[in-house]
């Protein structure tokens, strides 16, 4: 794997030859040559047909898209400690909420995973009710600037901290202006949800529905405290969702269910701080459920949905169109696993998403690339290896 070590610290044109890669459109493992130009995948060719000279042999590895953790729950001060662990787990894009615009000096630049920061826009503490105008202006300037490397800012609101419906409309308009999704974090505890209803006389989802904010350009975070009425309103909306992994394994049909349907909508997963170091435990938990252990069409769909929620569906839920899949013109965010002996792949496979999940259960990826550059080589964070 010396080619990966040679690529550290520079961009170039190279190729992973004759590898098995996961095709998100068919949920199948295919064989091919993945040509990479700088930070992007240039094209995918039939196996052993690339003419490039800088080659990474791929017959003993499996390539899957970098994983997306839509909400880590990490504070900015926790980021340096856990960002390396994210990368070692194969998470190449991670999101977190922030109460204000982050400090540019606090980022690790190209030595870190791709960051999504949901900037909570709160109401002014003084003066007339409504979102602080200066905060809106600062966010818009930052969102349109290039000061943040490998970082995307998205406008966010926490309804329980907002008292004016006009404030929600204002932030929604801002999101439309800057071309970013509006991220809404609901109450995460019964006490917060109950207090909201008792003081506002309606639920958070009820207000968002009344204001027609539950649109395709909005992503809802934290679904643990939804009432049945909230679920119905959310099901009737086109909003994207971010939820904990266990919600994906719970039945989404049946009377009395309080879990929104995950069909026909973009969805991402939220893996908290305690879960980051053990991403494969979640896949193991889901695989061990009875619904994933039987070869039925419905259970194949469940496996597909879980894999999508870790990759391209999560990207769609967050309004990102260049990550989450292995295809031409996509960012070269890749996880390279050792190839299992029972992986064959191809269009006729009904279980390739299950093979994908088994890769997670088997352990961490051997190598992790972001923007075509190695961040983890042989399980070791590149920055750490440089200091050994």
The DSSP annotation for 215-271 comes to: STTEEEE--TT--HHHHHHHHTS--EEEE-HHHHHS---STT--S---TTS-EEE--
Predicted TM-score (pTM) of this structure? 0.89
The Cα–Cα gap between 324 and 327 comes to 9
- The per-residue pLDDT for 112 is 80
Using one digit for the tens of pLDDT, what is the confidence trace for 31-85? 999 999 989 999 999 999 999 988 999 989 999 999 999 999 888 778 877 888 8
Q: Domain 67-313 has what CATH class? A: alpha beta
The CATH architecture to which 2-66+324-385 belongs is Roll (2.30)
Q: What is the residue extent of each domain of the chain?
A: 2-66+324-385, 67-313
Tokens of residue 74, six digits: 């990490």
pLDDT score recorded for residue 288: 47
Q: Output the pLDDT for position 255.
A: 40
Share of the chain above pLDDT 70, in %: 78
Query: What does the mean pLDDT of the chain come to?
Result: 82
Mean pLDDT of 16-31: 93
User: 123: pLDDT confidence band, cut at 50, 70 and 90?
Assistant: confident
User: How far is 141 from 137, CA to CA, in rounded Å?
Assistant: 6
How far from 123 is each of 66, 134, 177, 179, CA to CA, in Å? Answer: 36, 11, 19, 22
Task: Considering only the C-alpha atoms of the chain, give the largest distance between any 2 of them, rounded to a whole number of Å.
Answer: 67
pLDDT, tens digit (0-9, with 9 covering 90-100), for 264-280:
789 998 887 666 555 55
Residue 105 has pLDDT above 70, yes or no: no
Q: Which of the pair, 194 or 105, is modelled with greater confidence?
A: 194
As beta bridge partners, residue 59 has: none
Give the three-state DSSP class for 384.
helix
Question: What is d(CA 20, CA 61) in angstroms, rounded to the nearest whole number?
Answer: 7
CA angle 325, 268, 360 (to 5 degrees): 65
Sequence-distant (6+) residues with CB within 8 A of 331 are: 39, 40, 41, 322, 323, 370, 371, 372
Q: How far apart are CA 246 and CA 286, in angstroms?
A: 8
Check residue 21 and give its pLDDT. 95
């Amino acid at each position: 794997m010396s080619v990966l070590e040679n690529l550290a610290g520079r961009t170039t044109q190279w190729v992973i030859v004759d590898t098995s890669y996961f095709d998100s459109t068919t949920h199948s493992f295919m064989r091919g040559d993945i040509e990479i130009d700088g930070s992007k995948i240039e094209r995918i060719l039939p196996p052993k047909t690339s003419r490039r000279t800088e080659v990474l042999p791929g017959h003993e590895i499996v390539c899957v898209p970098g994983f997306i953790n839509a909400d880590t729950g990490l504070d900015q001060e926790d980021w340096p400690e856990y960002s390396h662990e994210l990368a070692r787990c194969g998470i190449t894009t991670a999101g977190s909420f922030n109460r204000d615009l982050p400090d540019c000096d606090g980022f690790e630049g190209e030595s870190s995973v791709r960051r999504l920061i949901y900037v909570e826009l709160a109401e002014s503490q003084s003066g007339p009710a409504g979102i602080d105008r200066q905060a809106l202006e600062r966010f818009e300037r930052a969102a349109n600037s290039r000061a943040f490397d490998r970082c995307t800012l998205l406008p966010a609101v926490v309804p329980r901290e907002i008292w004016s419906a006009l404030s929600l409309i204002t932030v929604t308009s801002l999101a439309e202006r800057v071309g970013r999704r509006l991220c809404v974090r609901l109450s995460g505890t019964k006490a917060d949800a109950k207090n909201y209803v008792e003081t506002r006389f309606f639920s958070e989802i009820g207000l968002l529905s009344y204001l027609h904010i539950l649109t395709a350009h909005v992503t809802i975070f934290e679904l643990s405290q939804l009432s049945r009425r909230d679920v119905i309103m959310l099901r009737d909306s086109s909003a994207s969702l971010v939820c904990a992994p266990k919600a994906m394994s719970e039945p989404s049909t049946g009377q009395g269910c309080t879990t929104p349907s995950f069909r026909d909508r973009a969805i991402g997963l939220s893996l908290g701080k305690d879960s980051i170091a053990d991403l494969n435990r979640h896949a193991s938990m889901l695989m061990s459920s009875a619904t994933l252990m039987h070869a039925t069409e419905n259970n194949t769909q469940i496996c597909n949905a879980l894999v999508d929620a870790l990759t391209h569906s999560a990207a769609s839920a967050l309004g990102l169109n260049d990550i989450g899949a292995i295809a031409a013109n996509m960012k070269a965010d890749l996880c390279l696993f050792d190839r299992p002996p029972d992986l064959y792949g191809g269009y006729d496979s009904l279980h390739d998403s299950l093979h994908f999940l088994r890769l997670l259960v088997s352990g961490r990826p051997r190598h992790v690339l972001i923007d075509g550059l190695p961040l983890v080589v042989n399980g070791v964070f590149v920055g750490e290896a440089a200091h050994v």
